[in-house]
Amino acid sequence: MLKAARALSWWALIPPLCVIVLVAAWGHKVGGVGLVIVGIALVAAVVVAVHHAEVVAHHVGEPFGTLILAVAVTAIEVGLIIMLMTSGPEGPSTLARDTVFAAFMIVCNGVVGLCLLVGGLRHREVEFHVEGVTATLATLSTVAALALVLPSFTTSSPGPTYSGPQLAFAGTASLVLYAAFVFVQTIRHRHYFLPLETGDVDRGAGPGRKAAAVSLIMLLLCLVAVVGLAKVESPAIEHVVAVAGAPRAVVGVVIALLVLLPETAAAVRAASRNQIQTSFNLALGSAVASIGLTIPAIAIASIWLQNTLVLGLDPKDIVLLVITVVVTTLTVAPGRATLMQGMVHLTIFGVFLFLSFVP
């Protein structure tokens, strides 16, 4: 009991400290040691935010738990994108596209591949509800094509962009699809998304209402801290990418990796317990939320942003997206998988990372 109380006190102490760092750095030109402190606070806020989301998730149960994690991560991602777009130069901006596409590739190949590899190594063969995973994948494929592929082929506006009405329609369609997905996941066909009873089940009592309420407040503080600290840190991130001579798209990869790192750890832990359904709920559900919620938010934000929002992918990235959708479909169709499928997904993820630096 004492050990748990101490752990809770540490998790509750970090969010206010991150907010204090944000208040101290806001509006000032930060450099040197200050940037290091801000960077540490930013990473700590992301990690602690997902921890508190897990506490709330454990209290409400599955599949609501993974839904809360996905929405929390997406809120962080949207905040980072908007803050970096407002701090960047005016003109065409590919940051939203690069970040959403990076999140898609990281989740569908990096996270899914790692979970299948870990689960396959420990349990030889992992099983999941094919109905729930294929429903998630169908939603994900549709919103990804709508947000990232179709703008490259429309003709109402120049370049891989949507016109105003097209962007409004795409944002609305993405939001409607995500709402339908949440309804199916949590109400109409909830049993499709519940973990199979094949893993180690935690029989201990979950957190009480008081602990869940405290974690909810800490989660909100973390979200505020992450968005604000990213605004402070954004010039340093872009400077490092420029000095390294890497393409600007790498900024989106860095943002997505930062945001998804704690969720990746949660998904891999579930896979190691042979609860791959929870891993897929976390991974693929996060990708659906990332696109289904980010695009409408960016569409609304574009009303006051001066940047032209570039969404359409180039041919190379469209090929990677199509390969990912096809391979993921083949992976989940049987309702079971081994480490072989994990290696295939990790290989595609490696190709994506390599081509991000060497396009």
**Sign for the pseudo-dihedral over CA of 68, 71, 73, 75:** negative
**Which of 64-73, 114-123, 138-147, 155-164 is the least confident region?**
64-73
pLDDT exceeds 50 at position 158? yes
pLDDT of residue 88: 59
Burial 331-355 (b: 16+ CB within 10 A, else e): bbeeeebbbebbebbbebbeebbee
**Cβ(117)–Cβ(284) below 8 Å:** no
pLDDT of residue 92: 63
C-beta neighbour count of 288 within 10 angstroms = 29
Res. 3 pLDDT band, cuts 50 70 90: very low
pLDDT of residue 341: 94
Task: Name the β-bridge partners of 336.
Answer: 127
Residue 72 exposure: Cα atoms within 13 Å on the Cβ side: 33
> Which residue is associated with the tokens 């954004």?
234
pTM, whole model, 2 decimals?
0.81
More confident residue, 196 or 343: 343
pLDDT exceeds 90 at position 10? no
Burial 198-210 (b: 16+ CB within 10 A, else e): bbeeeeeeebeee
Rounded Cα–Cα distance for residues 60 and 279 (Å): 17
**Cβ(292)–Cβ(106) below 8 Å:** no
**Cβ(331)–Cβ(341) below 8 Å:** yes
Question: For the domain that residue 91 is a member of, what is the CATH number?
Answer: 1.20.1420.30
pLDDT exceeds 70 at position 322? yes
Span 221-235, pLDDT tens digits:
887 887 778 777 777
Res. 207 pLDDT band, cuts 50 70 90: low
Task: Name the β-bridge partners of 235.
Answer: none
Mean pLDDT of 82-96: 67
Rounded Cα–Cα distance for residues 92 and 173 (Å): 24
Mean pLDDT of 80-86: 69
Rounded Cα–Cα distance for residues 78 and 221 (Å): 16
Distance of CA 193 to the CA centre of its chain: 19
Residue 41 identity (one-letter amino acid):
A
Domain count, the chain: 1
Res. 5 pLDDT band, cuts 50 70 90: very low
**Which of 3-17, 30-44, 95-109, 343-357 is the least confident region?**
3-17
pLDDT of residue 239: 76
Strand ranges for the chain from DSSP E:
92-93, 126-127, 308-309, 336-337
**Cβ(125)–Cβ(337) below 8 Å:** yes
Mean pLDDT of 30-34: 75
pLDDT exceeds 70 at position 202? no
Q: What are phi and psi of 309, to 5 degrees?
A: -85, 110
Burial 91-128 (b: 16+ CB within 10 A, else e): eebbbbbbbbbbbbbbbbbbbbbbbbbbbbeebeebbb
Res. 66 pLDDT band, cuts 50 70 90: low
pLDDT of residue 323: 96
- DSSP symbol at 147: I
Average pLDDT, the chain: 81
**Which of 74-88, 95-109, 242-256, 274-288 is the least confident region?**
74-88
Res. 197 pLDDT band, cuts 50 70 90: low
Span 100-130, pLDDT tens digits:
898 899 999 999 999 999 999 998 899 888 9
Mean pLDDT of 321-330: 95
